[in-house]
Chain A
């Protein structure tokens, strides 16, 4: 059996650019004895991926390692190329971040699992027939059907691809599995399946697990011990229950608070953040009875090879003035299609009715353009939503120019940026997107929508691609926009915690249908539909290794 040990490890990236050498990890000592589980939490840029890549010596040449990374008592640095090859996969294997991109799209997945066996095969699987049997065994272990072996990656869902990656990691019966954000791109239900699967493997086979995530709740659901990293340093280390429920450091508290506990009254309508958005009105707007955007019997279907697929079925929704409505559901439940139809971007089936302020949604291009002054949408990924070559000013002014609102342009831009709390606005005008952080980019996108002075904001997973600490800032901005401007918002998310944080009402979607719709407090406190209950149960809770099955 193999122990993994980091002894005063520092990793620096040498760089010829003006930034000079970049320290990524400094002075980390951690221990992972056989059969233990360790979670490393931290935000992007905290050096956690760099640290675990050093285990299998997968870092680029520009990385300089000080200190000792030892596997089973041997320093990884001292191993020859042949020896490190033998270690990779046979002793320790990695489940890479983003399974979606780690699989070869033009090869059958079965072949890709066999590839791992061919390269790192120990004496056990010497013949092709034996390797095939082993591959089927592995598929069985991760709960996939044998027939899937001949399928291509695009035929799998995100969760299934992640399971293929885990099967690959298990292929040569390693002693240590390193999982780099294994569930980040997945929704809660699939996330639960993957985590339970990992926890079961660890428990049954005595494998040690080193897992990285930005989500403390995910880590605490599986790992015994937790390490918190920030700026390459170890901030806190201890048993996961203690770190999560009784953190010593402020930073850990912030991380733990970023993902709210549903039912916790303190975080209701109060996303935790160090930089809350300002509420300027003496009497903030609250939800009214005036309906702004309404959908009745909304149906959307697509023609696919298997025939007609109904993405949205008989949806009835009403968005009131100054209401925040969260539409929650798994990926593929038709949430985004619903949002696109509400904007007139998606053709709907005959018989569907959509009304804005009592009038049917326009169909003609020109009328639609005017309509979009009133209803704006914010897309999932702020980095992708901004043209990389255009400055903040150009990005915000784009909507105004398209809508021919060209008078007073500069003031409108500054006003919108300040409403999106990107202050002082004038300092950011010349920046291009790559000079901004993820949260700042999202603010620019929001400012671009606000510049048109819309009544309704539709946001598609507005915080899914952001770090935990930024998440709170953006959510509190949505709340402030509602309170300051009386804006209505429809927020699409797979995260029930987000609904708990800011929404007035919540609609739960499953396979195109709304299965439960009502007040956040009522629905989340007392869910009626089994699917809502299932979703709620799948949300990982802080502490207590809730997903590990103890016999």
Chain B
């Protein structure tokens, strides 16, 4: 700490003098101030991490997630795309039940199901995460706008949110994906656009409650405008909620993707868990006794969704200590 601290803030003349004389020193202490803030945040992160680590379901979920993400990333290395080429699987038995040679069994074209799951994870997780990010961004922006701005603008935004809440989202997604060009991006947009409304509602309610806190009034008194209040107070206050909501939404986005693929609205040229389910449905695998064909993609979806949910719940508990130890 420097020795030449001004004793009162009023002596602005002497203060600026001091600033000129000790320019270097002042620079150093400016960094000091922000450094303190950074250190405190780092400590918070460390504390939260140790809380997260002590939560066993969350750790199981996190390990599962890392496993699925790794196999999705390294799918081309583990099993090259050629292994899914139907023309090269002529000597492989069709509908082979799980065995040592065929760990998860094969499908109606003799493809190994474990390879299809591997490749399917890429699209399923990518779509799940991308659609969730899109839905979170729209939801947060709309929720903040509806909560922060009172009057006509806020009311109009709120009615738009209400409109998307009452709209049957699957129907809208089906319409969107059949109208737009086929592809992974279309699926992402279709899911993203239809699933943000509930997030917006949650964000709005939190915004409203934070808006009435005295520290927002204090910021106004200090001269803050909308931008300062929205980005320095509101956004940090709603972010934890949004993050917790994200992990929970990913699950439903993955299911939505599978649903759309299952209905034949996905990108048929790419593997996804929903596509596998659809293929199994096409050849009535369930009734023909090819249980592994139906169960494998189903369990994969279940595991990933469960993993995201367990991680999400742990996040929620860290953010909202009242949920802990109940």
Chain A interface residues toward B at CB < 8 A: 280, 343, 345, 365, 368-370, 372-373, 376-377, 379-381, 384-387, 389, 391, 393-394, 397-399, 401-403, 407-416, 418-419, 426, 429-430, 432, 445, 448-453, 484-485
Contact = CB atoms under 8 A, between A and B. Distances in A.
Contacts of B9: 412, 415-416, 419, 450-451, 453
A399 B8 contact: no
B29 interface: yes
Given A410-B29, A415-B6, 9 more contacts: A381-B214, A384-B213, A403-B222, A408-B19, A411-B15, A415-B9, A418-B8, A419-B7, A445-B218
B5 A411 contact: yes
28 contacts: A365-B225, A376-B222, A379-B218, A379-B221, A381-B214, A384-B213, A385-B214, A387-B213, A387-B233, A391-B40, A398-B222, A398-B232, A402-B222, A402-B224, A408-B26, A409-B33, A410-B29, A411-B26, A412-B15, A413-B33, A414-B5, A415-B15, A419-B7, A419-B9, A430-B36, A432-B40, A453-B10, A484-B8
B222 A430 contact: no
Contact of B222 (A391, A408, A448): A448
B223 A399 contact: yes
Contacts of B10: 419, 453, 484-485
Interface in B216-243: 217-225, 228, 232-233, 236-237
B222 A485 contact: no
Given A379-B214, A380-B214, A381-B214, A368 B7 contact: no
Nearest to A431: B40
Contacts, number: 120
Give the one of B10, B214, B218 with max A CB within 10 A.
B218
A527 to B, nearest CB: 33
A369 B237 CA distance: 24
Contacts of B16: 408
A402 B217 contact: no
Given A280-B7, A411-B6, A398 B26 contact: no
Contacts of A485: 8, 10
Given A415-B7, A485-B8, A407 B36 contact: no
B74 interface: no
Nearest to B236: A389
B92 to A, nearest CB: 58
Closest 6 CB pairs of A and B: A384-B214, A399-B222, A369-B223, A372-B223, A415-B9, A410-B29
Chain B interface helix/strand/loop/mixed: helix
A357 B267 CA distance: 70
B100 interface: no
A411 B214 contact: no
Nearest to B8: A419
B12 interface: yes
Nearest to B228: A402
Contacts of A418: 5, 7-8
B32 interface: yes
Nearest to B9: A415
Contacts of A377: 221
Nearest to A365: B225
B77 interface: no
Contacts of A386: 215, 218
A432 B40 CA distance: 10
A369 B225 contact: yes
B179 interface: no
Given A381-B214, A402-B228, A484-B8, A391 B37 contact: yes
A397 B232 CA distance: 12
Contact of B36 (A373, A379, A393, A402): A393
